[in-house]
Structure 1
Amino acid sequence: MSTAPWPIEIVHGQPSDLRAVNAIMAEAFDPRFGEAWTPSQCMGMLALPGVWFTLACIDGRPVGFALARTVLNEGELLLLAILPAMRRRGIGGALLRSVIADARDRGAEMLHLEVRANNDAVQLYRSAGFSKIGERRDYYRGHDGNVFDAHTFSKTID
């Protein structure tokens, strides 16, 4: 993995940033897999307690985001996306480290996530210390009717 030759700024997102989040999702999530959320799903989730999102920006431009939540002493990474042209430059790792730190600060002792079985991001999660703990058969339903398994991962937060 190479790193970006420019500084990656990690900032906490505001509701006014949801337009950028939706634009990143539209570009980052292939519609074949049915992973992207609608704007109303994002807004609904952000209205819940313990939910936050983080943006990765380069030169003031959002290039990635992560959406997460904590409930009691557990956290969950709900979404993480990077613009395709900006992948493999350390942005996903920076966002993931930020989510882990934020979850710890919010009292989480464990962080969970779920990812499509053949998603390239699995390598990122494994390198950050996440371990596979389960599988959901035929969880994702793409717009073309195809189904894909989801794998669940967890990490103890030190």
Structure 2
Amino acid sequence: MNATATSGFDLSLTQGNSADLDSVVEIMDSAFDDRFGEAWTRSQCAGILPMPGVKLMVARFAGRPSGFSLHRTIADEAELLLLAVSPEHRRRGIGRMLLGDFLDNSRKLGVGRVHLEVREGNPAVIMYRSAGFALVGRRRKYYRGRFGGEFDALTLSREL
């Protein structure tokens, strides 16, 4: 999938693999604040990547990794595990493009319902809600920040 970002630079999505993990971790470290505990470790990403139904997509802005999504499909359901955009590349449609790719891929696989979890207060909630996701649950104190904070996770879902 290729698209053009608002500034005229090429924005593209490619399927990622283990060779992209350094870029993924770099994006995650810049995108997720330590105080919330949302980021995964490199070993967590490396461990899930080879599992059946798992797909990594990497967004490149002007040829440079700028965002990614990690999701998995099991039977007729799919879960968005991670979605992150580097702070310097935000507000250019990259997050929406990654989310749209996840939804399109899920439809093509015959998925009937998609899920995700997001920290309460994360600005991405607005994007997910505008894409048709609705609140279906809450996990109290799910995220544990580096400095001891505890934060609820919102479980969002939508039909395809």
| Length-normalised TM-score, structure 1 | 0.95
Name the structure 2 match of 1:128.
131
- Whether the aligned pair in 2 keeps the contact of 1:56 and 1:64 (CA below 8 Å) is yes
* CA distance, structure 1, for counterparts of residue 6 and residue 77 of structure 2: 30
State the shift of 1:4 in Å.
4.4
Name the structure 1 match of 2:68.
65
Give secondary structure in 1 for the equivalent of 2:10.
Answer: coil
State the shift of 1:104 in Å.
1.7
Question: Of 41, 47, 50, which aligns to 2:50?
Answer: 47
Name the structure 2 match of 1:37.
40
Report Cα offsets for 1:99-135 as digits up to 9, x if no partner: 1111222221111000000000000101111111111
| Matches for 1:106-121 after TM superposition, within 5 Å | 106-121=109-124
* CA distance, structure 2, for counterparts of residue 134 and residue 17 of structure 1: 32
Give secondary structure in 1 for the equivalent of 2:35.
Answer: helix
Whether 2:10 is the aligned partner of 1:7: answer yes
Name the structure 2 match of 1:85.
88
Name the structure 1 match of 2:24.
21
Structure 2 portions without partners, runs of 5+: none
* CA distance, structure 2, for counterparts of residue 104 and residue 64 of structure 1: 22
Overall identity of the aligned pairs, in %: 51
Paired AA for residue 156 in structure 1 = E
Structure 1 portions without partners, runs of 5+: none
* CA distance, structure 1, for counterparts of residue 50 and residue 93 of structure 2: 30
Question: Of 136, 147, 150, which aligns to 1:147?
Answer: 150
* CA distance, structure 2, for counterparts of residue 111 and residue 141 of structure 1: 25
Paired AA for residue 103 in structure 1 = S
Paired AA for residue 114 in structure 2 = L
* CA distance, structure 1, for counterparts of residue 121 and residue 7 of structure 2: 25
* CA distance, structure 2, for counterparts of residue 141 and residue 133 of structure 1: 21
Name the structure 2 match of 1:102.
105
